[in-house]
Amino acid sequence: MGRRYFGTDGIRGLANAHPMTSEVALRVGMAAGRMFTNGDHRHRVVIGKDTRLSGYMIESALVSGFTAVGMDVFQLGPMPTPAVAMLTRSLRADLGVMISASHNPYADNGIKLFGPDGYKLSDEMEARIETLMGERAEQLLVPSDRIGRATRIDSAQERYIEFAKRTLPRNIKFDGLRVVIDCAHGAGYRVAPLALWELGAEVIKIGVEPDGFNINKECGSTAPQALCEKVREVRADVGIALDGDADRVIIVDEKGHEVDGDQLMAVIAQSWQRRGRLAAGGIVATVMSNLGLERYLESLGLTMARTPVGDRYVVEHMRKHGYNVGGEQSGHIVLSDFTTTGDGLISALQILACVVQSEKPVSEVCNRFEPLPQILENVRYSEGRPLEEKIVREVIDEGRNRLGKSGRLVIRPSGTEPVIRVMAEGDDERLVSTVVGDIVEALKKVAA
């Protein structure tokens, strides 16, 4: 039986439309709160959000639900997703909640839940919450004298900034480093520039004027063009682009060229290997990471384990097999020595530390391998299961055979929208382009 509310990354959808409504948020608060209130002590939940207009609505509904079942609520205001995970542990809370749709436009929103250990809840726990959401409200409510309280944590930003700074050795400073940071008008718009400034960098800020509607709009890690231009304009040493909830990062070098998550993982893996810090003899990446990264790691004597797309799958594999570096090409990088989820700021700090220590420009530090030609196209569909159509399966099989061992083909439906992603890579760029084009054409025929 399929789940009704939770997807691959919490609950997500168009704000004020099912399932992203106040009513559903209220039920989530009541159900999750009841599941985590099973003792005599006062149970706590931490709630953070990004800067979307609908965040106010969803937050109020969640607070109402949690307090109605006896939980005390700590409200953080706009804070990065990894900060919510960290503060859930730091404040000894039973549950953490992030209200965000990450890199999506302002009209979308989402609810992510973290357990007391700071990790996202398992599928089983989310299923239990869904079951409780189907219960009558009267069965979940507590007596009047046990209703919870809501409190704003004014020190949340300072706590997270100090935590981020402590991930670097004390002798690392960014004095003389000119940094442009694009916060996507999102959750990191206050904490990220301040952390860089406190570490000594000269900081030029863009994407730090949220108005409820402009999150991720032509800015941030999914649209780094403005950052690239700003880096060239002010002759900065480096540019940093976060996404709406600041759990991913893209770097721009001093020439204004974009550096993706694969190159960043290569830098961190090599640096940590040299320092004897890299665990399990390699890293964890997804099926979307470039084959060039895998070949580079092999040249260092390191392995690369692949998982399905999604940072929760990366984290699950890391925890199960003892890795401490993992991530995605999109810039979700998980450094489990410090964090339980992707953290754009902390990942950026690790890269800047490598730049400072090497005394080389970013374009050299972050150019560890030559990526294989890789093409990704998205095909939107309205209904049905296009990937199960015979004509589509035949074209996919043919493409996979044509690429052979000199390339890879990855086709997957998005977990957050009605889109099928078609990705191919290989040594022969023309062949890669042809294979992707044929599959996209077949999908469009059945999706029309």
How far, rounded to the nearest angstrom, does the alpha carbon of residue 290 sit from its chain's CA centroid? 18
3-state secondary structure 398-436: HHHHHHHHHEEEEEEECCCCCEEEEEEEECCHHHHHHHH
In which element (H, E) is residue 345 found? helix 344-358
* Residue 301: exposure state from Cβ atoms within 10 A (0-12, 13-18, ≥19): exposed
Residue 13 tokens read as: 């959808």
d(CA 344, CA 329) in angstroms, rounded, equals 13
Q: What is the DSSP code string of 227-290? A: HHHHHHHHT-SEEEEE-TTS--EEEE-TTS-EE-HHHHHHHHHHHHHHTT---TTEEEEETTS-
**Dihedral of the CA atoms 366, 369, 373, 379 (nearest 10)?**
-50
Catalytic residue numbers, as ranges: 102
Q: Which of 243, 287, 282 is nearest to 265 (CA)?
A: 282
Q: How many helices (H) and strands (E) does the chain have?
A: 14, 18
d(CA 352, CA 173) in angstroms, rounded, equals 9
Q: What are phi and psi of 257, to 5 degrees?
A: -100, 140
Q: Are 181 and 196 in contact (CB under 8 A)?
A: yes
Q: What is the DSSP code string of 35-47? A: HT--SSSPPEEEE
Q: Which of 28, 13, 104 is nearest to 66 (CA)?
A: 28
